[in-house]
Structure 1
């Protein structure tokens, strides 16, 4: 078993060390630590700015924590490069070409979202640049034949049925209205939930990202009078949508998925109360990640957000390869493909399509203005 540096010296010693050094990190592309004798970088690919930056921040910081800990006593101090896609499939191709052209980049933590993953995947595959996404969940990403693609969490073929089970078995909802945001992620997930709910679906609708007036959708929902609404999409739209649904008279359950699991959703205030959020992301209260959560809080002054722990695991796989002396993409890809070690979120092992061998989906509830874990959806 490889030594996990998060826990090696104890949380108290670690917190002190992290407060004194932050080697190998960068706030902008092309800058950062490392030493003259080791020109190797790991890269984050996803939203650092823009409407979805709230979901990118924990991923950035989770990977940063792993790199900081590696660099504390490493002969090869790894640089950290960030490619800010703003979560946009339109921005992804050019950024992927830039990342692929930087020969020092030996692995990508990301891409963060499904749409940008689809847009960038061919470029990474052609460059032989291994990627491990801690957050992109569209199932079809694994069907593109990219030998560089890996996913550190369960996809929506597991999250969608889990959400449908929760709606039927726990909420006891006999009628459901399904809404999606037309994104690769949101539409794909909503389609899976709709299929699994079958005859319980009393209506569907599609909105658009950056839309702010949902009156037409609200009318369709209130006319259908469902027990629950499922929304496949991101928190920016969900925050507005739930407010307008409540104002329009909908008083049933609002069920969303991991794209909404961000503190910004709580800006909806009282309207967000009772919302159910599903996510293939381990709660930071789980004993398996308790020490990680303490270390993360010590470095960043806040609790780890959605997919911070999964990003830490993704970065740690690449760092384990570097510790083994790997200094090129070809060998790193083989290392990642063959990897089989216990991480902090799960056993980290990939099948021949890059999917994880160990998958879990959890439920969360918005309660008293906070996102509270309920437990794993079995």
Structure 2
């Protein structure tokens, strides 16, 4: 990842680097905390699902952040940074307790995550109140930037970008005439579906709400078939999308299937069945992992034995921004927050510059359409602007 430490701080950054080295030498025991000037054994955290029905998205993010930390520690073996893992299972009800445990650790400076919008809504105020830096590589609900959480940053476009991108693809590429919209009532799913509805307008012929962890979709399928829709947009996650699409295809449903980033994972294809998922379109404000800069794709595969997945590269960038700040001597929560607020640099996914509300510069946002072909999710094109 090509990032310039001296982008705006010049000699000050060099002084900071010397200070870090000196502090590491003075604190070989790692027993102090950030309030007293100790700068070794600091930590950042991953916050997201590692278990549960949507775990693969969280695992992708965790592994991207872990790659960044492992590479950093290889280069800085005398003053390492730890990675704390907090498994939310994608459940907002667990977010408060996890966030509270993180802020209690004075060595903990920042969080890569939370991964999902629902858990972010709960956790972000707790993290922000105590000055913990937040860079989410995946939570896309626009409302997260309006909660007043001063340490919040989003490392990609939000659903106000993705929703119109998906809707424009449905109109101009698929040329759908009748669209049925489904959402799961989650902060993410409903928010994305509402954005799509707003752009499609009268093209939306009907809509339905499903429940998280629902397994029987017969009533919704009857509603979809009765609407004569030629396209379905799904606002939600792959845990429910997979059985829905399988049941819909088994019932003879032929409408094209479009969904957002919460469905963009191989687990969706495997759950629905490759034949049922064939041709499905999945949008995401994320860069195709194979198009990430530098040696990221090869490094990720070497470290994990797998191809990089959805949000792996975005998490790698989020972690590296924090690590760069720590390396430059920003070894308290306040200092790291100031560093991230003013950060400008090129990551493997995009060029980073955060606005006052924590959103990434709109010029850095791209929404991609991915397509299921031959049982695999492959990048197709950027969605029409």
Calculate the TM-score normalised by the size of structure 2: 0.88
User: Which ranges in structure 2 are unaligned for 5 or more consecutive residues?
Assistant: 6-26, 31-39
Aligned to 2:109, the other structure's residue is in SS state strand
Moved over 3 A (4+): 1-4, 34-37
Please name the residue that 1:266 is paired with.
269
Q: Indicate conservation of the 8 Å contact 1:67/1:315, yes or no.
A: yes
Distance of 2:381 and 2:295 partners within structure 1: 19
CA deviation profile, 1:335-361 (whole Å, cap 9, x unmatched): 000000011100111000000011110
Please name the residue that 2:284 is paired with.
279
**TM alignment of 1:325-364, pairs within 5 A:** 325-357=329-361, 358-364=364-370
Residue 236 of structure 1: which of 239, 248, 252 is its match?
A: 239
Please name the residue that 1:377 is paired with.
383
Distance of 1:265 and 1:124 partners within structure 2: 32
Please name the residue that 1:312 is paired with.
316
**TM alignment of 1:194-233, pairs within 5 A:** 194-233=197-236
Distance of 2:3 and 2:346 partners within structure 1: 9
Q: Indicate conservation of the 8 Å contact 1:152/1:310, yes or no.
A: yes
Distance of 1:109 and 1:282 partners within structure 2: 18
Compute the displacement of 1:377 (Å). Answer: 1.4
User: Which ranges in structure 1 are unaligned for 5 or more consecutive residues?
Assistant: 5-33
* Higher mean C-alpha displacement, 249-258 vs 161-170: 249-258
Compute the displacement of 1:73 (Å). Answer: 2.0
Compute the displacement of 1:285 (Å). Answer: 2.4
CA deviation profile, 1:248-284 (whole Å, cap 9, x unmatched): 2220210001000111111212111110000011112
Please name the residue that 1:61 is paired with.
63
Distance of 1:329 and 1:289 partners within structure 2: 29
Please name the residue that 1:93 is paired with.
96
Q: Indicate conservation of the 8 Å contact 2:72/2:323, yes or no.
A: yes
Aligned positions, number: 348
Residue 75 of structure 2: which of 73, 77, 86 is its match?
A: 73
